[in-house]
Amino acid sequence: MIEVEDLRKEYDGLVAVDDVSFAAGPGEIFGLLGPNGAGKSTTIGCISGLLMPTAGRVRVQGHDVAREPRAAKSGMGIVPQEVALYEDLPAEENLRFWGEAYGLRGQPLAERVREVLEIVGLSDRAADLVETFSGGMKRRLNFGCGIVHRPQVLLLDEPTVGVDPQSRVRLLDLVREQATAGVCVLYTTHYMEEAEQLCDRLAILDHGRIIAAGTLEDLRGSMGERDLVRLSGAFDPEAIRESMRSLDEVEIVSSGAEQIALAVPGASRRLPEILSAVAAGGGVVRETTVTRPSLESLFIRLTGKELRE
Amino acid sequence: MRFILATARKDLLRIRRDWPALLLWMGIPLMVGGLLVVMFGGDATPTARLLVADRDGSLVARLLTGVFEQGPVGEIVEVEAVELEEGRRRIEDGDASGLLVIPERFGRAVLDGEPATLELVTNPSQSVLPGILEEMLDLALEASEVLRRLFDEPIDRILLDVDGEGSPADSTVASIATAFNRAGEGARGWLLPPAIELETVALAEGEEFDFGRAFFPGMLILALLFMATGLSTDLWSERRSGTLRRAVVAPRGAGTIVAGKWLAGSAALALVSAVGLAAGRWAFGIEIADPLLAFFWLALVGTGLLALFTLVQLLARSERGGNVLVNAVTLPLAMLGGSFFPFETMPSWMAQIGQTTPNGWALLRLRAIVDGAAEPGLLAVSAVAVLSVVIVLGWIVARRLGSWAA
């Protein structure tokens, strides 16, 4: 349904996306995970036809987005990062307009508008102006506008940003329902928990490049069975590096004057010897955190920084 | 086509919800026009009130006062006889433009060719009208001096007779008339033919400069100018909210969005044009030779201006920059294009420049339509030209819109 090959996008010589390739099929939720500025929105922009790729090819439902834009776009739904709604119009008018934008009209449109209002839980507010809605309600309507024309491919660009926990759960349920109905979903986020809960397959982006890709199990496996140990305090990185040499299977992921990250199998059992090595290196530990293998620990291991940085 | 209509419908709903802006677009130019008409034209002809304290009461004094009540001067000067004290009080209160004090024995002094003093007190808070009074008084006194020299003999006879008791005898009146005739015959050589031949051409009825009529079409164009500016800014609000990005990735593309937005804009502009024309007819009493043609021309011109300002908005890098840029274009157009100042009141070089601006060019044709002087052929060519410009601008805007929205 979505095929991205060797995608590259430059802005005035600045490379935003480089050599990105992936594919997602019907009923699959494919996640693009990465920090702000990693290139997720640019990738979605190229897939949706908003941006023209500098190089590479994007096909949606077999249609090249650059060469057959109308055919490629007709089965595509988009839920942008911002709440792209007409706040001075009622909810039903918004749904009606976006339905018409994709060719719906007449009775089928009216029925679909009612149905989507039901799906997103806004039937009782159908005639109210969007400007009177809460943030969560706006996000749900934003999602509704993306699915009003029953797309086969759904692009979701961080749809839960700034949403309260209750609305987030509701939105994630809506996304799952779409996938269950056979829709191919491309989901970008920088929330690891969301990606872990939702996505069947994932690609982790950093600085415009895919640094890891696969199922959640694949990615966890690439971490091995190693936990992530983060130490906060005061350190001499060189001295710590030297003192850690004596410890087996301990990998220094990142080291700084105030924080050190280590990948260690069975970290909770090996904490005493790790702390001894740090003390031997002249370090003072104020806080210790042990994390089980996760996307976050994978991201830190791959990039040396946290996802939300 | 359906998506164009859907976009137009959506924008019209949004414009309707923002009805205060619509009222302002309609109201500001009409208000400005009304003020300008009241200030400079219409029925509000300025009049100078001249208070006359005639302490002489002679024929000469009455003739002098009559100078201000005759002919064109009489249309702008209102003479009111007052007692001296009342006159001084009222001129101090600013209740008149001037107070003329004619002293006792003024008439006799004029007829005797002796020096006499007139007192004209003017209102310091006024500048133009007291000046007119002074000029008129100087002129009247010089004329009296000429007449005194020209009709020297009959005037002397009058003086001799007036010195006696009762009415002059018939023989005296007859001899005075004969003396006037002789004096007139004597002056004929240099009075007739006159040294200056004055040719007076009467203006055809309705050809007088009518400020209301001159301002009204300009105000309508000004309303469209403001409204097109306001409508063009909606692109920024759509860009800010993300709806524009969402719309340009829909299958129908940017061209239909532009067409839909301009269609809605045209409808709103047409509504304002209709209201403006109706207001001109019913509120200001301005006759419009062909209201329907004026309506269509205004709607078309408004769409052209909207297209122009949309493109100007797309040239800016930010919303603030867009507003500055559009204002930088709008204000000179409004000033030069005959809306604030009719072309008739401009220096000719400025009027020529103004008539080449888009709104000035459109205004000339609108005035021709309002006056019933529009040439159908020229108007048809002009309409095609505006449509062509709208299509070309639409193509440019549609091509730029996708990348601009991103």
Contact between B272 and A96 under an 8 Å Cβ cutoff? The reply is no
Domain extent, residue A251, equals 225-292
Contact between A96 and A109 under an 8 Å Cβ cutoff? The reply is yes
Give residues with Cβ within 8 angstroms of B342, minimum separation 6.
B211, B214, B215, B218
Distance from CA of A238 to the nearest CA of B (A): 46
DSSP state at residue A304 = S
Show the tokens assigned to B17: 């919800």
Collapsing DSSP to helix, strand or coil, A121 comes out as coil
Any bridge partners for residue A232, and if so which?
A: A259, A287
Per-residue model confidence (pLDDT) at position B388: 93
Distance from CA of B246 to the nearest CA of A (A): 7
| C-alpha Rg value of chain A to the nearest Å | 23
Per-residue model confidence (pLDDT) at position B206: 47
Find, among B222, B234, B237, B315, the residue nearest to B269 by Cα.
Answer: B222
Q: Is the peptide bond before B193 cis (omega within 30 degrees of 0)?
A: yes
Show the tokens assigned to B163: 């010195």
Strands (E), chain A: 2-11, 14-24, 29-33, 55-60, 63-64, 76-79, 153-157, 184-189, 201-206, 209-215, 226-234, 251-255, 259-265, 284-291
User: Is residue A309 in some structural domain?
Assistant: no
- Round to whole Å and give the CA distance between A198 and B378: 67
Q: Measured over all CA atoms, what is the biggest interatomic distance in chain A, rounded to whole angstroms?
A: 76
Judging contacts by C-beta atoms under 8 Å, the chain A residues touching residue B12 are: none
Show the tokens assigned to B248: 């340009």
User: Is residue A85 in some structural domain?
Assistant: yes
Residues A149 and A263 in one domain: no
Any bridge partners for residue A294, and if so which?
A: none
Residues A170 and A39 in one domain: yes
How deeply is B307 buried, as exposed, middle or buried, from its count of CB atoms within 10 A (0-12, 13-18, 19+)? buried
Per-residue model confidence (pLDDT) at position B26: 73
- Round to whole Å and give the CA distance between A247 and B23: 78
Give residues with Cβ within 8 angstroms of B230, minimum separation 6.
B21, B25
Spell out a b/e string for A44-73, using b for 16 or more CB atoms within 10 Å of the CB, else e: bbbbbbbbebeebbbbbbebebeeebeebb
User: Is residue A170 in some structural domain?
Assistant: yes
Judging contacts by C-beta atoms under 8 Å, the chain A residues touching residue B13 are: 89, 93
Find, among A47, A65, A122, A134, the residue nearest to A91 by Cα.
Answer: A122
Collapsing DSSP to helix, strand or coil, A289 comes out as strand
Cβ–Cβ gap B247/A78 under 8 Å: no
Show the tokens assigned to A271: 């904490």
What are the domain boundaries of chain B? Answer: 2-41+210-405, 48-179
The amino acid that residue B94 corresponds to is G
Show the tokens assigned to A215: 């199922």
CA dihedral of residues A158, A162, A166, A170 (deg, nearest 10): -30
Find, among A157, A158, A142, the residue nearest to A98 by Cα.
Answer: A142
Chain B residue with CA closest to A76: the answer is B250
Cβ–Cβ gap B251/A84 under 8 Å: no
User: Is residue A50 in some structural domain?
Assistant: yes
Residues A118 and A210 in one domain: yes
- Round to whole Å and give the CA distance between B370 and B189: 52
User: Is residue A307 in some structural domain?
Assistant: no
- Round to whole Å and give the CA distance between A251 and A253: 6
Chain B residue with CA closest to A146: the answer is B246
Question: Along the 309 residues of chain A, how does pLDDT read in single tens digits?
Answer: 889 999 999 988 888 889 899 999 999 999 998 888 888 889 999 999 888 899 999 999 989 988 888 888 988 999 988 899 999 999 999 999 999 989 888 999 999 999 999 998 899 999 999 999 988 889 999 999 999 999 999 999 888 887 888 888 888 988 999 999 999 999 998 888 888 888 989 998 888 898 888 887 787 777 666 788 889 999 998 998 888 888 888 888 888 899 898 888 888 888 889 999 999 989 999 999 888 777 777 777 777 666 554
Show the tokens assigned to A57: 């090819």
Show the tokens assigned to B40: 């400079």
Cβ–Cβ gap B253/A85 under 8 Å: no
Residues A154 and A46 in one domain: yes
Among A187, A220, A253, where does a domain finish?
A220
Residues A215 and A244 in one domain: no
Distance from CA of B259 to the nearest CA of A (A): 14
- Round to whole Å and give the CA distance between A250 and A265: 8
Among A166, A192, A220, where does a domain finish?
A220
Secondary structure string (H, E, C) spanning chain B: CHHHHHHHHHHHHHHHHCHHHHHHHHHHHHHHHHHHHHHHCCCCCCCEEEEEEECCCCHHHHHHHHHCCCHHHHHHEEEEECCHHHHHHHHHCCCCCEEEEECCCHHHHHHHCCCCCCEEEECCCCCHHHHHHHHHHHHHHHHHHHHHHHCHHHHHHHHHHHHCCCCCCHHHHHHHHHHHHHHHHHHHHHHCCCCCCCCCCCCCCCCCCCHHHHHHHHHHHHHHHHHHHHHHCHHHHHHHHCHHHHHHCCCCCHHHHHHHHHHHHHHHHHHHHHHHHHHHHHCCCCCCCCHHHHHHHHHHHHHHHHHHHHHHHHHCCCHHHHHHHHHHHHHHHHHHCCCCCCHHHCCHHHHHHHCCCHHHHHHHHHHHHHHCCCCHHHHHHHHHHHHHHHHHHHHHHHHHHHHHHC
Residues A48 and A149 in one domain: yes
Question: Along the 406 residues of chain B, how does pLDDT read in single tens digits?
Answer: 788 888 898 888 888 888 888 777 777 766 776 676 666 554 545 678 889 998 888 877 887 888 777 766 777 788 889 998 898 888 888 888 888 888 888 888 877 777 888 888 888 777 667 777 787 777 777 777 777 776 676 667 666 665 545 555 677 667 666 766 666 566 555 555 544 455 655 555 545 556 567 778 888 888 888 888 888 888 898 898 889 888 888 888 788 888 999 999 999 889 888 888 888 888 777 788 888 999 999 999 999 999 999 999 888 888 888 888 888 888 888 888 887 777 877 788 888 888 899 999 999 899 888 888 888 888 899 999 999 999 999 999 888 887 787 7
Judging contacts by C-beta atoms under 8 Å, the chain A residues touching residue B253 are: 69-70
Cα atoms in the 13 Å half-sphere on the side-chain side of B296: 10
Contact between A260 and A186 under an 8 Å Cβ cutoff? The reply is no
User: Using CB atoms and an 8 Å cut-off, which of residues 76-135 of chain B contact chain A?
Assistant: none
Judging contacts by C-beta atoms under 8 Å, the chain B residues touching residue A103 are: 2-3, 251
CATH number of the structural domain spanning residue A135: 3.40.50.300
User: Is residue A127 in some structural domain?
Assistant: yes
Residues A165 and A264 in one domain: no
Homologous superfamily, domain B48-179: Periplasmic binding protein-like II (3.40.190.10)
Cβ–Cβ gap A88/B402 under 8 Å: no
Find, among A296, A228, A295, the residue nearest to A264 by Cα.
Answer: A228
Structural domains in chain A (count): 2
Per-residue model confidence (pLDDT) at position A97: 93
Residues A86 and A234 in one domain: no
DSSP state at residue A90 = B
- Round to whole Å and give the CA distance between B12 and A284: 67
User: Is residue A100 in some structural domain?
Assistant: yes
Chain B residue with CA closest to A78: the answer is B246
Q: Which of B13, B402, B405 sits opposite A93 (nearest CB)?
A: B13
User: Is residue A297 in some structural domain?
Assistant: no
The amino acid that residue A40 corresponds to is K
Show the tokens assigned to B89: 């009080």
Distance from CA of A65 to the nearest CA of B (A): 11
CATH number of the structural domain spanning residue A264: 3.30.70.1150
- Round to whole Å and give the CA distance between B24 and B223: 9
ipTM: 0.76
Residues A231 and A212 in one domain: no
Cβ–Cβ gap B252/A101 under 8 Å: yes
| C-alpha Rg value of chain B to the nearest Å | 33
Show the tokens assigned to B338: 């005959």
**Cα dist. B196→A17, A229, B151 in Å?**
89, 113, 22
What's the pTM value of the predicted model, to 2 decimals?
Answer: 0.66
Judging contacts by C-beta atoms under 8 Å, the chain B residues touching residue A73 are: 249-251
Residues A152 and A25 in one domain: yes
Collapsing DSSP to helix, strand or coil, A221 comes out as helix
